[in-house]
Amino acid sequence: MNRLQILILAFICVLGLLTRSIAQIQKEQIDLLDSYLSVQQQSIGFNGTVMITRNDSIIYQRSVGKASLELDVTFSSDPVFRIASITKQFTAMLIVLAAEEQKLSLGDHLSKYFPRLSQSDWPNITIRQLLTHTSGLPHDEGIADYWEKISFLPLSERQAADEILKLKLLSVPGTETHYSSPGYFLLASILEIVYHKSYDAILREKITAPLHMDHTGVGNATDIIKGMVSPYHQLANRLIAAPHRDSALMKGSGNMYSTASDLSKWNNALNGSSHFNKMVIDQLFTIQNSQPVNGRSESYGYGWFLRRTSNRERDFNFTGGGTYGCSAISGYYPNAKISVVILSNVSTLPVGEMQSDIESIVFGDSFDMPVAQTQVVMDASQLDKFQGAYTADSGHVLLIFFKGEQLYAKMGQNPFFELYPSENLVFFGKKVPVQIEFENGSDNTIKGLKAKLKGQSIHFLKSR
């Protein structure tokens, strides 16, 4: 064997060892992801699918739970889910495409498209302000009797628009940030005006048909959609059929459905393909609003949250969505070329926390597997003593209250969430991955608590 043959053989051996090493790392990550989803199914009731792709190649895909609990049907290979506010990604793209086609300008005022506007500040709202949630428009709750009545009604297009156009602005347009789905309804309506077509038809022509997203579209409460999973809602510690919510007021903001594979195609098409003009894509992923949007710390582009860090590999563009029967998040790491899609047919699941955990696994960070907590039974008399206000050194106040045989926690303006006992003084959350350990005083009354979340421990003293 000559020297060249020896070198070639050595190279082949090293390449083989390297390939096996990479495969072994991938298998370890896959095993860890499998274990993680199993724990989250047991711990928080995750029911849905996860897909991770690198470029156009699937590197992980798994579904856990049921597509229909009533029929005991498991998920298909590519189940269809409602995607709620992920819809905003598509509306934003369609608006920017329309601007490129000179159908509209992002600086256009609403008065150009809705001449019947009469409120003083309304005509001055711009399309750009609607895109960035700086129009002053409130979220759905600004509509009178929205959750009690209006959200159930199959309103006509005109009736839905009238409900939104009579909203009271929370601030002068362009001065403050207020997350607003009604703002994206108006964007969808503007698209229909300039194209003389339905939002569904525009979406199909500009995005879903060219990208072969064959299982993505616009749905309403009465449509029968092939492959659609049944919707459920977490109520305390049990699942119920998801309450009804009509989609009439969700046009352009939350009325779409899709699959994990279709959303992965979409993520990849926006990041490195030639399907869309680079100038269009750059507008979506350029920071347009650096103020907190919907309570999040990330900046905002057009329809996308943008996480920018010193580690460029962890830059992340994403949107989450939630409504009755839907918890979802879809995003892309542009520098790592990785797409992550998490879709569930159960509402109020912490899919944002799941995405963070999955990121740690995929990027090889040290990772502590969540422990599936076992709930114990406590009666109302046992739970009552934990109620009260607890104050940390920082001044933050954590409220613990008891309602309907269930203990809840709430901090500041954040939504309240359920607490479940695992031991005599130890409780855990499902929607929020927190562990709370109460402290007994000398007289056997509760004097304080320790809250553990994301590796941090905060001490609170009972103030009342």
pLDDT, tens digit, for every residue of 116-131?
887 789 999 999 999 9
| Domains defined along the chain, listed by start | 81-362 (3.40.710.10), 380-462 (2.40.128.50)
Burial 171-190 (b: 16+ CB within 10 A, else e): eebeeebbbbbbbbbbbbbb
Rounded CA-CA distance 329/255 in Å is 15
Neighbours of 307 (CB within 10 A): 15
User: If residue 359 lies in a helix (H) or strand (E), which one and from where to where?
Assistant: helix 351-362
- Lookup: tokens for 55: 């470029």
Is the distance from CB of 358 to CB of 368 less than 8 angstroms? Answer: no
Rounded CA-CA distance 452/328 in Å is 25
pLDDT reported for residue 4 = 44
pLDDT reported for residue 413 = 72
Single-letter residue type at 140: D
**Which residues sit opposite 446 in a β-bridge?**
440
pLDDT reported for residue 45 = 92
Successive 10-residue mean pLDDT values, the chain, 464 residues: 47 38 62 96 94 93 97 96 98 98 98 87 96 97 95 95 95 97 98 98 98 96 92 86 95 98 96 86 96 94 97 96 97 96 96 96 90 81 90 92 87 83 88 88 89 86 89
Name the pairing type of β-strands 73-74 and 397-403: unpaired
Output Rg (C-alpha) for the chain, integer angstroms: 24
List, for residues 387-417, the tens digit of each pLDDT value.
999 999 989 999 999 887 789 999 887 778 8
State phi, psi for 446 to the nearest 5 degrees: -75, 125
Is the distance from CB of 449 to CB of 427 less than 8 angstroms? Answer: no
pLDDT reported for residue 223 = 87
Please tell me whether the overall predicted TM-score, pTM, comes out greater than 0.75 for this model.
yes
pLDDT reported for residue 25 = 43
